[in-house]
Amino acid sequence: MSEGVVRLGGVTDFPPDPVIVAGLRSGDEEVFALLLDEWSRGMLRLARSYVSTAASAEEVVQDTWLAVIRAVGTFEGRSSLRTWVYRILVNTARRRGERESRTIPVSSVDGERPDGVPPERAEGGPEGAALAGEVRALIDKAVGTLPSRQRAVITLRDMEGYGSEEVCEILSISPANQRVLLHRARAAVRDHLAAYYDGRGGP
Amino acid sequence: MNCDEFAELVTAYLDDALDDSSRPLFLDHMARCSGCTGYYGQFTAAITALGELPAPGLSPKARSHLLTAFREASSEKPE
């Protein structure tokens, strides 16, 4: 079944869209697993911009993949496959986020704070690592306080490293709007870091 | 260009999206203003730090659930 599909072992180039799409349509599990492992981390992060807990974000990502499995036969290649998948994700996450905000106070979900991931302990080691862990926790927290539109843009641009064109397409926003959202988000993160380095605690 | 205007344009500068008239003013301001040079450094340091945050993946349970769903969907498709 996977004849005609490039061997996917190793860390070489990610196969081009037509190869991936053909693999998905023909039921090549290796191709699907590759996609899952390449894209799910970024998808979880992006989903977290719209929903209130990590568990909820994981459900959004699962629902998105199930929709991709159902709909890959209709993919026409008018955007890249990644953009197409991410657009499904954004729609799914937005809908769920709206539902959550109508039904439950975000602060009470699972006892998890809505404004960030719990700070990670630095893996033992020298003071430098502890400091880096503290800065990471601080940035996580800063990102967690951003409005969802800003958070989505900074997640894609700075955490995932996507180009501005793809980000505009995924989020259906103009280049000017994308830049404003990104700039506000970055400035907010910078403010948190500056306050930390000034030894003033938080803003 | 004053410091507030400078601060507003950092992302546009980094995206190479400043127009031909603003770009030299931006660079000229940075060359003269140590406060804004510091701000620029902190801004780009924040961007670098954002890119280094670890990202958790799917839980093994979710991953295996999805692989099963893919397998089942494929076996239902007509040849």
- Quick: pLDDT tens for A165-189: 999 999 999 999 999 999 999 999 9
**Which ranges of chain A have pLDDT less than 70?**
1-12, 104-131, 200-203
In a domain, A19, yes or no: yes
- Which domain range does residue A17 map to? 12-114
pLDDT recorded at residue A12:
53
Q: What is the pTM of this model?
A: 0.84
Contact A109/B at CB under 8 A: no
CA A186 to CA B50: how far, in whole Å?
A: 9
Regarding whether A85 and A52 lie in a shared domain, the answer is yes
**In one letter, which amino acid is A128?**
G
CB crowding A55-72: b at 16 or more within 10 Å, else e: ebbbbbbbbbbbebbeeb
How many Cβ atoms from other residues are within 10 Å of residue A145's Cβ? 16
Domain closes at, from A85, A114, A143? A114
A161 with A198, same domain? yes
Let me know if residue A132 belongs to a domain. yes
The domain total for chain A is: 2
Domain-embedded: residue A195: yes
CB contact A134 to B (< 8 Å): no
A39 has a chain B CB within 8 A of its CB: no
pLDDT digits (tens, 9 = 90+) for B40-68: 999 999 999 999 999 999 999 999 999 99
What CA–CA distance (Å, rounded) separates A116 from A104?
Answer: 18
